[in-house]
Amino acid sequence: MGIEIERKFLVRGEGWRQGEGRYLCQAYLSRDPARTVRVRIDGQQAFLTIKGLTAGATRAEFEYAIPVADAKALLSLADGPCVEKFRHRLPAGGLVWEIDEFLGANAPLVVAEIELPSEDHPFDRPDWLGEEVTQDTRYFNSALAARPYSRWQASSG
Amino acid sequence: MGIEIERKFLVRGEGWRQGEGRYLCQAYLSRDPARTVRVRIDGQQAFLTIKGLTAGATRAEFEYAIPVADAKALLSLADGPCVEKFRHRLPAGGLVWEIDEFLGANAPLVVAEIELPSEDHPFDRPDWLGEEVTQDTRYFNSALAARPYSRWQASSG
């Protein structure tokens, strides 16, 4: 069991880009925000991750490594298609920005996340950092699985 | 990944009873039959189990051991209360009857299950075996979590 304290931001421009990132593919066995169940394939590793409700920027998180072959089979049980992205890691003063460059139906969305040791932990805001969207449930990856970014304009004007 | 081939029956009388059985407590992170996600505590062990749709008596099943402390925390995220039961194991000619004696809101339901190596594998039917309910989704444990046996008469007459 763990607690995840994470803040999420939109990104401006390309100033964050360094290298290629690594490819992640993830899908959901439950998209219920009270009990999200995610299958993720990350190269030669795979994980089953359960998250509870978000309170502020904090969320209970449980993660288990599983065989990649299991994960591939579990993706076929998932509710909706894989959310695909390149994940870029940018170390920043003891913390790490994880920048997700979404692919497929969620392109061209780019989101930056920072995991914090406590909710009030300070962090520097790089030039490329845009609007905070920590509380905006549309940007939950589980929500992007059901309602991908490329279709937002069509339904919300 | 595994495939579970299981048939389920009601039980008549007490002829099956030998000893006390062991106590199981389980709850669901997803009750969707296409992607059931179950947390089970079984004494000093705990498991996270994912099952797909049932086709006949066959169902895809993925099971992972997890720490009991995680399982206890995951139960608090679950959709509905714990389904509680005593499980009794009765070996029978190379196979095993698992007899679930439900407690709490699902008492006095008793159900016998047998796991088979193939759908057409023969098995003896003991005297105490009642009607087959393999296909009856009301007896899915995930359904019993949401609509416990003690409330069936009130809603279905």
Give the domain ranges of chain A.
3-156
**Residue A9, token pair as written in the block:** 């931001």
Mean pLDDT of A75-100: 94
Tell me how far apart the alpha carbons of residues B31 and B20 are, in angstroms, rounded to a whole number. 29
Domain A3-156: which CATH number of 3.40.50.300, 2.40.320.10, 3.40.50.2300, 3.90.1150.10: 2.40.320.10
The rounded distance, in Å, linking the Cα atoms of A25 and A18 is 21
Q: What is the pTM of this model?
A: 0.86
Mean pLDDT of B71-85: 93
pLDDT band at residue B1 under the 50/70/90 scheme = low
Task: Choose from A4, A30, A38, A70 for mutation: most chain B CBs within 10 A.
Answer: A30
The whole-chain average pLDDT of chain A stands at 92
Residues from A contacting B (CB-CB < 8 Å) are: 1, 29-30, 32, 34-35, 37, 48, 50, 52, 60, 62, 64, 66-67, 69-70, 73-74, 77-79
pLDDT of residue B156: 53
Min distance B122 CA to chain A CA atoms (Å): 30
pLDDT at residue A157 is higher than 50: no
pLDDT confidence tier of residue B157, bands split at 50, 70 and 90: very low
Burial class (CB in 10 A: 0-12, 13-18, 19+), A61: middle
Given this model, what pLDDT does residue B154 score?
Answer: 65
Helix (H/G/I), strand (E/B), else coil: B116 = coil
Cβ atoms within 10 A of the Cβ of B65, count?
11
- Using a CB-CB cut-off of 8 Å, the residues of chain A touching B65 are none
**B139, pLDDT greater than 90:** yes
